[in-house]
Amino acid sequence: MNRNSVLAAAFVGLALATGGVTSAFADPVDDKLVIDGVEMTTKTKAPEGHPFDEVLSGWLFREAETRATEADSFANPGMLAVERGAEIWNAVDGTAGKSCASCHNDAAETMKGIGANYPKWDEASKKPINIELQIDKCRTENMGAEAYKFDAPDQVALATYIKHQSLGVPVKLDLAAGDMQSWWDKGKETYYTRTGQLNFACASCHEASMGKYIRADHLSQGQANGFPTYRFNTGGMVSLHNRFRGCIRDTRAEFPKAFSDELMALEVYVTWRGTGLSVETPAVRQ
Amino acid sequence: MAATPKPRVKVPKTAKAGEVIVLKTLISHEMESGQRKDKEGKVIPRKIINKFTCELNGQLVFSADIDPAISANPYLEFSARVPESGTFKFTWVDDDGSIYTDEQKIEVR
Amino acid sequence: MEDRMTLTRRRVLALTAGFAAVPALQLLSGVAHAAAEDTTKLIADFTGGKEPQSGKIKLTAPEIAENGNTVPVSVSVDSKMADGDMVQSVMLVAEGNPRPEVVTFHFTALSGAAAATTRMRLAKTQSVIALAKMADGSVYMDKKEVKVTIGGCGG
């Protein structure tokens, strides 16, 4: 009895030691994601210099019920955040007495497709800027409002709303702008650097083990095209930097601050890895 | 998500007299189950939507007594037979006594 | 030989402790499952002591729930919902949850159909039970086992 349990534990230990994944593998599903009559690109040829031949949306790695929830724009709980974001968009905030709408009018027009090109190069700060930081920039410089605290529910809702105006639009970054290329290089280095007590890099799971099962999770390519995402796990919206920090924390490493140089560089690189996939915000994941 | 629970309903705009239609409803709400503990090990008190009702022209169509095992952002889908034009009224009751409502008109053609 | 085994087992414990440190599914922290008596009493209160029969009610639930926090479930009862053939209520029970009660749907003549869909929380792999109480007091039952999986480094 004792010997059997020790043997079993040893097997698990070995499995975990060799990277935490068993040899169970499954192809992603062959299924079409159609939201309100618009077909999303969930599978496409990878850009030049990409380690994969094909980039795949995380949607393809989820169970049927999860996929169906994203496809139904009413049942998708992330759409509650989109509605909240619309409220914020139209609400006056700050000393200048303006709302987002005061300058940007109807988001469905002015923000259409914008989210698919973020992060962008920001000349003023000489760094890449993402949607969340762009919102803060507008608030502080144009509205006389305070920047949001990281992951403030209003920040997540507004970012979701803005990104959602790019639903279906293929992700495409401009790496030629400013110094984006060197930030891409830094992000790539982070992506492949092992970290933490578990000694995992992003690539350990999302490249080397893509398609394998880690316990019962079907490992995806770890794409960014659906963020902010509604996660069943937390029963709420999850931002990209929240997810980065969570993943890194789960390798049992210290995790970088949100919007730090390290995570901004990682966002540039990870977003690039999904070039060509449709923006799915708000995606639904486990 | 929203600080104040926000309802969202999907109801067809028209129906034939006597037709049975499907209604879908969502409300943003954490549905704190009362099972979780905070960092200090104290139980986080329960706070859920505990009741949902749907009326058509003041008559009860469907209701649900909801327990903490219903997921966050509770989703309810059900049917209604529509005898005549009118207004659907939806009500969600929170443990703390708050009541959230939404309304949707329907036209019988 | 024994030393190596012990060492590996310690490593396993250390590594699995890492998984435990990950914020667990809300319902998994310190979960006990519903006492069998709770479930029995809940069902008896609903049925009024009547023995549930099989048939008429259909419970739809996934075989494998990707995440126990959000499991879509549907019930549907074969009933005209008119002329005395009426469903009064349908109750869902999760016998493996800390508390077995989930939701009770109440239908009327205006319901049109005795059917409803919702999303529920399952603390672990278990059977979900659906009970339909008809206007004439008869009770029908359906039961589905749902496997609840644990993710990897869910974060």
Q: What is the pLDDT of residues B88-99, one digit of tens each?
A: 999 999 999 999
pLDDT of residue A24: 78
CATH of the domain at B35: 2.60.40.10
B6 vs A84: CB contact, 8 Å cut-off? yes
pLDDT of residue C32: 54
List the Cα angle B46/B50/B55 in 5-degree steps: 160
Is domain A78-164 annotated with CATH 1.10.760.10? Answer: yes
Q: Are residues C99 and C38 in contact, defined by beta-carbon separation less than 8 angstroms?
A: yes
| Range scoring the smallest mean pLDDT among A175-184, C54-63, C143-152 | C143-152
Same fold, A31-72+169-285 and A78-164: yes
Kindly state whether residue B2 falls inside one of the protein's structural domains: no
Higher local confidence (pLDDT), C69 or C9: C69
Kindly state whether residue B1 falls inside one of the protein's structural domains: no
Kindly state whether residue B27 falls inside one of the protein's structural domains: yes
Q: Are residues C107 and C129 in contact, defined by beta-carbon separation less than 8 angstroms?
A: no
> Is A247 part of the annotated catalytic residue set?
yes
C120 vs B70: CB contact, 8 Å cut-off? yes
pLDDT-derived band at C153 (thresholds 50, 70, 90) equals: low
Pick from B8, B40, B102, B29: nearest CA to B72: B29
pTM metric for this prediction: 0.86
With an 8 Å Cβ cutoff, is C47 touching chain B?
A: no
Cis peptide upstream of residue A128 (ω within 30 degrees of 0): no
Closest CB to C70: pick one of B20, B64, B71: B71
Q: Which tokens belong to A66?
A: 């999860």
Closest CB to A80: pick one of B2, B10, B24: B2
State chain A's maximal CA–CA distance in angstroms.
Answer: 73
Question: For chain A, what are the domain ranges?
Answer: 31-72+169-285, 78-164
Q: How many CB atoms lie within 10 A of CB C61?
A: 22
Interface of A with B in 68-87 (CB under 8 A): 74-75, 77, 79-81, 83-84, 87
pLDDT of residue A191: 98
Mapping DSSP to helix (H, G, I), strand (E, B) and coil, where does residue A141 land? helix
A166-186 burial, b at 16+ Cβ within 10 Å, e below that, comes to bbbbbbebebeebebeebbeb
Per-residue pLDDT of chain A (286 residues; tens, 9 = 90+): 455 555 444 444 444 444 444 567 888 888 999 999 999 999 999 999 999 999 999 999 999 999 999 999 999 999 999 999 999 999 999 999 999 999 999 999 999 999 999 999 999 999 999 999 999 999 999 999 999 999 999 999 999 999 999 999 999 999 999 999 999 999 999 999 999 999 999 999 999 999 999 888 899 999 999 999 999 988 899 999 999 999 999 889 999 999 999 999 999 999 999 999 999 999 999 9
CB within 8 A of A68, min separation 6: which ones? A75, C72
CB within 8 A of A208, min separation 6: which ones? A19
How far apart CA A223 and CA A271 sit, in angstroms, is 7
Tell which CATH classification among 3.40.50.1860, 1.10.760.10, 3.40.50.2300, 3.10.20.740 matches the domain A31-72+169-285. Answer: 1.10.760.10
Q: Are residues A74 and C77 in contact, defined by beta-carbon separation less than 8 angstroms?
A: no
With an 8 Å Cβ cutoff, is C99 touching chain B?
A: yes
C106 vs B64: CB contact, 8 Å cut-off? yes
Query: Which domain covers residue B89, as residue numbers?
Result: 7-108
> How many structural domains compose chain B?
1
The partner residues of A45 in beta bridges, in order of sequence, read A54
Which residues of chain B have a pLDDT value below 70? 1-2
pLDDT of residue B105: 97
The pLDDT tens digits of the residues spanning A180-234 come to 999 999 999 999 999 999 999 999 999 999 999 988 889 999 999 999 999 998 8
